[in-house]
Structure 1
């Protein structure tokens, strides 16, 4: 029986003296935080923090943090369980060993994650931002890339534009990211705007261009 199963069984025993409400929910939540000094670090050199949370009816009652090495009550209702589990050698050993499982999984998954490269898709869209000033908002959409580290720059006629706006990095939920970098400008005839992207999946920077009156941007890899 795993840690969650042992804790759940003990929890039921701890509250068996009272009739449970008609609708209630037990939740076990576990998470691992891993900090590596550098890419490719050996599993034994990775700092691991394992946190287990026991939740009843949407309220966290008890928490185990590997940094402390014991269960602690988060709410008054969790105090009996925390005391009980801290007194159970097998439960404590399983909880403390979970950090080693995280470290092992890091060793298995890290090479895959580190070597995985997905090239971003680039596209420029333009919208009228301020009709009174005839300004245009150019949006460089950079989508579906991995890893997250990326550098995006705007250029006007070969000169870098510093006054840009950037959205936060968005997780797509499929191990890829997307982001937008926006430039507010007043285009003039003959101007050429370039969105340049540097990413680990490219051997050289990738660029996409936009010109006033152009219906679409032209990609240049």
Structure 2
């Protein structure tokens, strides 16, 4: 038995035995970091904190403070984390979170007092921050329109809000597309580096083997 294993291992190049699995492991690790390297904040935790605060008499500024000081975590990867479906994205506006809370309240036995408190926060936030869903540059344009029209803005307010909602939806689609493109780019770079390293090492290793064979032949 010992002689058998000795013959087998004498034919195996230890360099090949350890190098290629090592390179594959590094490449897979790098790809996983790219694919899973997203961050967000836990939906249920954020909604629960806001509901508790509002029920305790918190005003809009306090709610905004809670929202801005959210706990950020990563999505699930090989090292753990949370599922992407359990998280809000980092760019999620407070208005969406508040509307999710309102929807949740209707999904169970409605507490009219609690619903009224959340509704008041939503209305106040809509008046003070009607374009929070938009990018900074887009938000500035809409706010300028609001200021220039003054009292006459109310005539077109609902239409402007609908346009802002549509624009926010398009922004999200663009961001998702760019995120996927960025991941694909990094994965391609990792694959290219892996191919180059393996190719160079194979050339060097083959040259070394030929040198050893020539040395043994002479």
After TM superposition, the score normalised by the length of structure 2 is: 0.23
Larger RCO: Structure 1 or Structure 2 (Cα < 8 Å, ≥ 6 residues apart)? 2
Bigger helix share? 2
After TM superposition, the score normalised by the length of structure 1 is: 0.23
Larger Rg: 2
